[in-house]
């Protein structure tokens, strides 16, 4: 087996650990019940257009990596301590954003996420112990603990990257739909067959889309595959000018497809519409 596949297979292993499911379900229910209010969407990164957690994670990773580099190159002990402390101080919002995203993932992704989180907590404990040892004058022990903490962070980051990119936990799942649909006008059926305010699934070439007819006789055609984790939006319902996903209840504005509520962070792709002689047609918006 070549090196690439050996590494990828190892990173896939936690996704098979079904024994983690009971504890994962309990933690996910707890996180979903946290009274976070609008802060939940802030933590998801709805305002940013992509998940906030990986961006926040740069702070502790950067601090601890810099501390270890200083350590290995004979840098100033006070600077090492400050960087280690800064990494610990930056950690709470990273963990909170991660848990909030994690609680809305399918079971296989949650297993990987749980191992990723356990690794992050281990790394933080190693750095906290390192700082304590340094503050008590045990520099050699502090150095060992700090280097072990940064090594653990590297493994945690590798697993997080695998979860985000390989398992697509943070990817926009409908991004390619407009490019996969035919570029010219496609028939979606008679307007009389599309009821008011109820999403209807249709095909644009091979690409599933969801059609919504609004009260002012306006039409919205969105990609049917939810940008969060690919559920079919045609099984959802129209609420307050938005289409709500049936799986994790993200809401996408009918006016522009942008998420009004997470966990989705990316806009749902929209298609251009027209009605000719009582028949509905749609196509991707021309690029550029």
Binding stretches for ligand FES (CB under 6 A)? 226, 228-229, 231, 245, 247-248, 250, 263-264
E strand segments, the chain? 186-190, 200-204, 207-213, 219-223, 237-239, 242-244, 251-253, 259-261, 270-276, 279-284
Between CA 90 and CA 85 the distance in angstroms is: 9
Minimum distance between the CB of residue 170 and ligand FES, rounded to whole angstroms?
Answer: 12
Nearer to ligand FES, 90 or 245 (CB): 245
Is the preceding omega at residue 120 within 30 degrees of 0, hence cis? no
Q: Report whether 120 contacts 24 (CB < 8 A).
A: no
HSE of 236, CA atoms in CB hemisphere, 13 A: 28
Q: How far is the CB of 93 from ligand FES (least distance, A)?
A: 22
Pick 67 or 242: Cβ nearer ligand FES: 242
At closest approach, how far in Å is the CB of 236 from ligand FES? Answer: 8
**Minimum distance between the CB of residue 196 and ligand FES, rounded to whole angstroms?**
23
> How are strands ordered across the β-sheet holding 259-261?
237-239, 242-244, 251-253, 259-261
CB of 249 vs ligand FES, minimal distance in Å: 6
The minimum distance between CB 272 and ligand FES, in angstroms, equals 23
Q: In terms of CB distance, is 212 or 264 closer to ligand FES?
A: 264
Instruction: Work out the burial of residue 204: count CB atoms within 10 Å of its CB; fewer than 13 is exposed, 13-18 middle, 19 or more buried.
Output: buried
Residue 269 tokens, joined: 């792709």
Q: Which is nearer to ligand FES, 146 or 236 (CB)?
A: 236
User: Considering beta carbons, is residue 61 or 231 the nearer one to ligand FES?
Assistant: 231
Look up tokens 């650990």; give the residue: 17
Quote the CA–CA distance of 155 and 236 in Å, as a whole number. Answer: 39
CB of 227 to ligand FES, least distance (A): 7
Tokens of 31: 């996180």
Q: Which is nearer to ligand FES, 90 or 264 (CB)?
A: 264
Integer-rounded Cα radius of gyration of the chain: 23
Of 248 and 253, the one with the shorter C-beta distance to ligand FES is 248
């Amino acid at each position: 087996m070549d090196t690439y596949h050996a590494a990828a297979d190892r990173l896939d292993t936690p996704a098979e650990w079904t024994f983690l499911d009971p504890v994962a379900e309990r933690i996910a229910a707890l996180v979903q019940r946290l009274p976070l209010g609008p802060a939940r969407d802030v933590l998801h990164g709805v305002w940013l257009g992509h998940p906030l957690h990986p961006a926040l994670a740069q702070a502790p990773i950067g601090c601890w990596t810099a501390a270890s580099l200083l350590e290995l190159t004979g840098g100033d002990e006070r600077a090492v301590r400050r960087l280690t402390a800064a990494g610990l101080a930056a950690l709470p919002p990273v963990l909170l954003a991660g848990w909030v995203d994690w609680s809305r993932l399918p079971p296989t992704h949650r297993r990987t996420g749980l191992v990723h989180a356990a690794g992050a907590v281990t790394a933080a404990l190693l750095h906290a112990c390192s700082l304590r040892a340094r503050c008590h004058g045990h520099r050699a022990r502090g150095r060992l603990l700090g280097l072990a903490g940064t090594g653990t962070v590297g493994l945690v980051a590798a697993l997080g990257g695998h979860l985000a990119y390989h398992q697509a936990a943070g990817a926009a799942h409908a991004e390619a739909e407009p490019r996969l649909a035919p570029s010219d006008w496609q028939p979606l059926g008679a307007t009389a067959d599309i009821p008011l305010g109820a999403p209807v699934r249709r095909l644009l070439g091979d690409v599933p889309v969801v059609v919504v007819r609004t009260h002012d006789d306006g039409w919205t055609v969105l990609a049917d595959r939810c940008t969060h984790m690919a559920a079919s939006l045609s099984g959802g319902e129209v609420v307050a000018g938005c289409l709500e996903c049936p799986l994790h209840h993200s809401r996408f504005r009918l006016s522009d497809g942008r998420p009004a509520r997470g966990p989705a962070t990316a806009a749902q792709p929209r298609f251009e519409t027209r009605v000719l002689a009582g028949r509905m047609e749609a196509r991707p918006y021309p690029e550029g």
